[in-house]
Copies of this chain bind each other. A is one copy, B any other.
Amino acid sequence: MKICARTDVHYAIRDVVAWADKVPGEKIHLNIGDPDKFDFDTPEWVKEGMIRAIRDGKNYYGRSEGNPEVLKAIAQRDEKFSGRAPDHSIVTQGVAESIEFLFASLMDKGDNILLPSPIYPQYLAACTMNCGEPREYHCIEEEGWNPDPEDMRKKIDDRTRAIVIINPNNPTGAIYSKKFLQGVVDVAAEHDVPIISDEIYDMITFDDYTPMSSLAKDVKLVSLNGISKNYLSPGWRMGYSSFYNCDELYESCLRLARIRLCANTPASYGLLAAYTGDDSHIEPLKKKLLTRRDLMMKRFDEMGLHCVEPKGAFYAFPQCPGDDREFVKGLLEKEKVLTVFGSGFGEQGKGHFRVVFLPDEATLSEACDRIERYVKSL
C-alpha cells in the first residue's frame, strides 16, 4: 500500500513516549507541557462555562469561525491585552488547526516558511505536510534565545511565505525583547511577508512581555492563541487565530474552517468564560512556576549544565554533554527521567534537551538528583 511521503512526519515530544513505554517501572515525566498532569487544574469558572453550555443545549454545530459572542470576547481580550483588536478571528481546534489552515493557505511545493530554531516540531510537520520547506533561522542563545533578524535576512527569498515567531517560546522559555521584535517587523516589512506570532503562553510570563500586534502595525500579522496553557485546559483544544491586515489569508482559512464545520461548541463557551473572568488564577500559577523554575535553575547551575533562564512558559532548554538523543535515552533508561532530545526541535536544538518545570518541588528535586547522578556518570 502506497502511503504519501508527506505524512512521514514526526513529533519528538510524543515519540519519546514510545521509548518510555519500553522502559519498566515508574518514571518522572518532564517531557510534556501539560500542567493538568501535575498539580494544576482548569479554573472552576472556566469549567463551569463549558458545563453550562452543555446543559443549556449548546451541543449543536456552531458557526465555522466561532459563534459571535465568542468572537466578541476574543476581540475584547486581544484589545485589552495589546491595545489593538484584530480585524477577524477564527476559533480552531487548538493552535494546531490554526497552523494547518495557515500553512495550507500559504505553502505550495517550492515555498518556504521561516521558523525560529530551535522550533516547536508541529511547525516542521506542517511544512512537510504541505510539501513546503521549513527554513530555520537562528535564535541567539547568548541573547536569551532572541530571534536574529540578520539571519532572517540571509535566509529569506522570494519563495518565503511567512515568518513564524513563538513568544513566549517553546522550547526555550524565552521572552523576546522589543528590540529584537522590532527587528523581525522590519524584515517582514522589507519583504512584505506576513508574521505568524504564536503567543499561546502570553499570560505565563516572568518578565516584560510585548504582544506582536502592539508593535507590528503596518505589516500583515496573524497571532495565535488559546486557553490551553493560560487557562490550564490543553485537552479542550481551544485555540484561535487573529488576523491583522491580511483579509485574503483570513478568507482562505475561513473556507478551510467551513469544510470541518466547526470547533467544539461547548469548549468555545469555556473560552468565553475564561476571557470574561477575573484571571485570579494567574498570579498563584506564576508564583508556583517561578519557585520551581528557580529550583531547577539552581540545580542545573550546581551540576554544571548551562541553561538560559526561562522568562515565560514552563520549559527550560539546557545544554547536554554529547549527542542529545543518546543523552535523553540514557537518562530515561538509567534514571527513569523522561525528557525530550533537543534535535527534535530542529537544527539549533542539537546538544540540548527540553524539560518542563511543572512538577512539585519534591518531584523536581528528585528529578534533579537523578539528572545530576546521570551527568556525573558520563
A: residues with CB less than 8 A from B are 1-11, 14-15, 32, 34, 36-37, 41-42, 47, 50-51, 54-55, 57-62, 64, 93-94, 96-97, 100, 104-108, 122, 125-126, 129, 161, 194, 220, 232-237, 246, 248-249, 251-252, 255-256, 258-267
Contacts and interface: CB of A to CB of B under 8 A. Distances in A.
A261 B161 CA distance: 25
A14 B254 CA distance: 11
Given A105-B4, A267-B264, A9 B259 contact: yes
B47 A61 contact: no
B262 A235 contact: yes
Nearest to A232: B59
Listed from nearest, the 5 A-B pairs whose CB atoms lie closest are A235-B265, A36-B60, A96-B260, A14-B258, A125-B259
26 contacts: A3-B248, A3-B249, A3-B251, A5-B108, A6-B108, A7-B256, A9-B259, A10-B255, A14-B261, A34-B60, A36-B57, A36-B59, A37-B61, A41-B57, A47-B55, A60-B234, A62-B235, A93-B237, A93-B260, A94-B261, A96-B259, A96-B261, A97-B260, A129-B259, A235-B262, A236-B265
Given A4-B107, A60-B234, 8 more contacts: A3-B106, A4-B104, A4-B252, A6-B104, A7-B105, A42-B57, A50-B266, A104-B129
A62 to B, nearest CB: 6
B236 A59 contact: yes
Contacts of A233: 59
Contacts of A252: 3-4, 7
Contact of A122 (B62, B236, B259): B259
Given A9-B255, A96-B261, A236-B264, A41 B14 contact: no
